[in-house]
Structure 1
Amino acid sequence: MKDIFTDMQAQIGCQYISDLPYHKSAVWLELKNFCLSEYPKKQLEDFSHYVFDVPYTAIQEALQRKDIMSHKRKACAD
């Protein structure tokens, strides 16, 4: 099973997962490129609370907004 915490840690180059909340901008930019359907919903909820202190539904809504998604997301293989 994929783990968004370790995947994001590797992608942005943090030494520790606990560093992720201190790199919100980098995490947000990378999050827009992740195929979020590859991760369990519970894990996405935990991740969004841990990093951004918001429910995952807020992240989902933001990712659907065209003004926030100024560049294309990678296609997901569902």
Structure 2
Amino acid sequence: MKDIFTDMQAKIGCQYISDLTYHKRAVWLEMKRLCLSAYPKKQLEDFSRYVFDVPYTVIQEALQKKDIMSHKRKVCAD
């Protein structure tokens, strides 16, 4: 079974899982790249609360809105 804690630790390059909370931006960017459906829902909930201190539903909503926000940024930048 895949483990998002250890996978993210390796991707971010943290020595300890507890360091992930200090690298929220890097974790967020990696979460946008990962196939989150490969991880158990309970584990995603635990990870989201541990790193970001929010329920996973908040993360899901933000990830769904990312395409809209990216489009808005492009429009604003032009």
Q: TM-score, normalised on structure 2?
A: 0.85
Greater RCO (Cα-Cα under 8 Å, separation 6 or more): 1
- Runs ≥4 in structure 1, deviation > 3 angstroms? none
Shift of 1:19: 0.3
The structure with the greater share of residues assigned to helix is 2
Q: TM-score, normalised on structure 1?
A: 0.85
Shift of 1:17: 0.3
Mind listing any 5+ residue stretches in structure 2 that lack a counterpart?
A: 71-78
Mind listing any 5+ residue stretches in structure 1 that lack a counterpart?
A: 71-78
Give the root-mean-square deviation of aligned CA atoms: 0.5
What is the percentage of aligned positions where both structures have the same residue?
Answer: 82
Aligned residues: 68
Any residues of structure 2 matched to 1:1-78 within 5 Å, and which?
1-65=1-65, 66-67=68-69, 70=70
Shift of 1:9: 0.3
